[in-house]
Structure 1
């Protein structure tokens, strides 16, 4: 039975019987998931109390949230929730202050990549882009652009 058929039958039964309790409403067939699809579905994983205690202790000892998400195979917001419930003060995230942006601009101009400058390559890249710095193409792209006769500009 299709879901639409089930809904129509339910409505008709309720209208004829007067109430949903008096009507014999057909139940929809349970959904069967093919094994190939089931592999892609992420199961909800609950951490044991011991694992949560280890996670909290590891964070207090300097592990990053990202490292903990990989270690315990959970999402970052799960790590956040466990840390919040344990009353752990989260470490501040690295910010690109104007002084850091100026220093990063100088280092980038000397030829360093955004990953070599520090903090996080994407954080540095975004800050430099916002500061109006003309960004170099990623490694290997320049050769391909020249080969095809493309110019960036």
Structure 2
């Protein structure tokens, strides 16, 4: 068991105890009159501070046990990697994966650059054609201006 897992487990157990104690202290059983009795005033309003404390302690409880699960999974992965054997083989695999990721990233950047270039050329051509139409005065500028984005459809 790793030190990190041991620490997370201790915190999780403490959070569980805190949740149990807080729920017992915050909501003791108080028998009272049944609701809706005529002539008997309603009881006091619920204690809002107790509810806030319960919510806070419950959050710590959930996060601490989640941390235990994550650290346990991490330890299992590290143990299996350690049992895998040849560290040189692991380095080779990591190098291959890094090379594949770099190639994928480069390919994606090329696609984005091509799309941006197409977009720029389209905008430049639209601007030139619009300027020529306005310059020749063949059509009023207001009629020929089109936005690149379509207006949202009205339903």
Q: Same fold, TM exceeding 0.5?
A: no
Q: Which has the larger radius of gyration?
A: 2
Range into which the TM-score falls when normalised by the shorter chain? under 0.3
Structure having greater relative contact order (Cα 8 Å, sep ≥ 6): 2
TM-score (norm 2): 0.20
TM-score (norm 1): 0.21
